Each structure stands twice: as structure tokens, then as C-alpha cells.
Structure 1
């Protein structure tokens, strides 16, 4: 996502002709968009995106369990 934000920033600088980016070739301005597409393709094909989503869901689930245990007065287990 950071790469997409950087790409949009560079595009805006080129479009509004601000700073040294105004003198850059359009190929250099559009290259980060290609890098962003490659990153997303790699992340989806290797399962990186799904794995991160599952880790986030598991952490939320564990936090919820711990919160309920604390409400009952039971000490949650510490991770091994």
C-alpha cells in the first residue's frame, strides 16, 4: 500500500510540474505503478495476503478469549 501511495504522490508531482519530478520521463513516473502490480500479484500468488489476514483474525480471536477470561476472573495463559 505504501508503494501505491508513493506512486500517486510522484504522479501528482509530475502532473502539476512540481520540483525535479517535472523533468522526469513518464516511464520513471509510471514505473512504481508496475512495481505495485507486481507486488500484489506476488503477494496473492504466494498466499502472503491470506496468511496475514488469518494471523490478524487469530490474534483478534485470542484477544477476545483473553478479555472474557479476565472478566470471569481467570488468568489467561501466556504464549509458549
Structure 2
């Protein structure tokens, strides 16, 4: 996501001819978009994206369990049934 943001900023600066970016060549300005595509391809191929989504779901599930236990009053109870 950072590469995409950087690419958009550089693209706008190049289009509006602002600062030193106006003198840069187009391939340099568009390089962050290529890096973003490469990052997303790697993240999907390696399972990084799925792993982060599973961690987020697990954290939400655990927060819900903790919230329900606190509401019932058994948050610190380690007694087995």
C-alpha cells in the first residue's frame, strides 16, 4: 500500500511538474506501481495475505470470547467443567 501511495504522489508531482520529480523520466516515476504489483504477487503467492487475515480473525474471535467472559464474570476463572 505504501508503494501505491508513493506512486500516486510521484505521478501527481510529475503531471503538475512540481519539484525535482518534473525532471525525472517516466519509468522512474511509475516504478512504485510495478513494485506494488510485485509485492501483492509475492504476498498472495507466499500465503502472507491469508496468514494476516487469519490472525485478524483469530484476534477478533478471542476479543469476543474475552468480552463475553467478562460480561458473565468468568474472565479469570480457570476452573474446568
Q: Give TM-score scaled by structure 1 length.
A: 0.92
Aligned residue number for residue 41 of structure 2: 41
How far the C-alpha of 1:76 sits from its partner, in A, is 4.8
Q: Which runs of 5+ in 2 are unaligned?
A: none
Matched residue count: 77
Q: Distance in 2 between matches of 1:62 and 1:27?
A: 46
Cα root mean square deviation, aligned: 1.1
Structure 1 residue 69 displacement after superposition: 0.1
Cα gap change, 1:32/1:69 in structure 2, threshold over 3 Å: closer, same or farther?
A: same
**Residues 6, 76 of structure 1: CA spacing in aligned structure 2 closer, same or farther, 3 A cutoff?**
farther
**What is the alpha-carbon distance in structure 1 between the residues aligned to residue 76 and residue 26 of structure 2?**
56
Cα distance, 1:4 vs. partner? 0.5
TM-score normalised over the length of structure 2? 0.91
Q: Cα distance 1:19–1:50, how it changes in 2: closer, same or farther (>3 A)?
A: same
* Structure 1 residues not aligned, in runs of 5+: none
